[in-house]
Amino acid sequence: RKEVEQDPGPFNVPEGATVAFNCTYSNSASQSFFWYRQDCRKEPKLLMSVYSSGNEDGRFTAQLNRASQYISLLIRDSKLSDSATYLCVALGSNSGYALNFGKGTSLLVTP
Amino acid sequence: DAGVTQSPTHLIKTRGQHVTLRCSPISGHKSVSWYQQVLGQGPQFIFQYYEKEERGRGNFPDRFSARQFPNYSSELNVNALLLGDSALYLCASSPVLTGGFAYEQYFGPGTRLTVT
C-alpha cells in the first residue's frame, strides 16, 4: 500500500467552480504535510503547507484531520491557470525527512 | 534570488553506461534531497543529505549513489544504467533539518534522463 493515496482524477471543471481534492496517508508518525502543484513537464512547486488548524491562502484552503489521517485541498473560483497536477505530500519519519508523494490528481479548468 | 539549479537539463545515455547529475541548492540551504519521477507517478525519494552526511535513503539499488560537497551542492551517480532508469530526476533543497519538524523542500527544474 502506498503511503499517500489521492483521488484518481482527472477533474474537469468549469471556470469559477469549486473543486476539492482528498488524500489519505498511512504513516501515523508523519508530522508535516504539503500540497505541491506540478505543471506538465515541470518541477513540483510548493503550493501550501497543511496545518492541523487548517489554513487558507487566497482561494486555496487546506485541512488536516490527524485522527482520520486525511488531508484535503479546496480551490474556490477556479481559474484556467489552476489547471495542473496537484500532489499530496506527507513528510516521512523514516528514511530521513523524505517527502512521500501521492500519485497526483490532474485538474483541468475549462472556459 | 536564484532557485535550485540542476545540470544537465536533458541527457541521453545507453544501457550499461554511467551518469552523473548535479544540483546546487538555494543559497543558505544545507539539505539536499534527490527524487526520481517516472511518467504518471509522483516523485520517489532516492537520497537525502544534510551537512554532507547521508540522512536518508529510499528503496533504490546500490547502483544509485550520491554525495554532498562542502558548498552544499550535490551529485547523484547512477551506474550500469537500465531502460527503467529513464525518468525526471529532481533535486530539492531545504534550509534546516531539525528533529521532527522539517522545512518545506524546493525543487529544481530536474534532469530528464533517457536510457536507450
- Taking only the tens place, the pLDDT of each residue in A37-90 is 999 989 999 999 897 778 899 999 999 999 999 999 999 999 999 999 999 999
Report whether pLDDT(A28) > 90: no
Report whether pLDDT(B81) > 90: yes
Residue B100: band (very low, low, confident or very high) from pLDDT cuts 50, 70, 90: very low
> With contacts defined as CB-CB under 8 Å, which chain B residues touch A93?
100
Contact B35 A104 (CB under 8 A): no
Q: Which of A34, A98, A102 sits opposite B48 (nearest CB)?
A: A98
Residue A82 has phi, psi (to 5 degrees) of: -80, -10
Q: d(Cα B46, Cα A26) in Å, to the nearest integer? A: 20
Q: Which of B43, B56, B101 sits opposite A101 (nearest CB)?
A: B43
- Assess contact for B9 and A42: CB atoms under 8 A: no
Contact A103 B90 (CB under 8 A): no
Count other Cβ atoms within 10 Å, centred on residue B95.
16
- Taking only the tens place, the pLDDT of each residue in B43-65 is 999 999 988 889 889 999 999 99
Residue A9: band (very low, low, confident or very high) from pLDDT cuts 50, 70, 90: confident
pLDDT of residue A40: 93
User: How many interface pairs between A and B have CB atoms less than 8 angstroms apart?
Assistant: 70
Could you tell me what percent of chain A has a pLDDT over 90? 73
Place of cell 547529475: B21
Q: d(Cα A33, Cα B37) in Å, to the nearest integer? A: 19
- Taking only the tens place, the pLDDT of each residue in B1-21 is 689 999 999 999 999 999 999
Report whether pLDDT(A14) > 70: yes
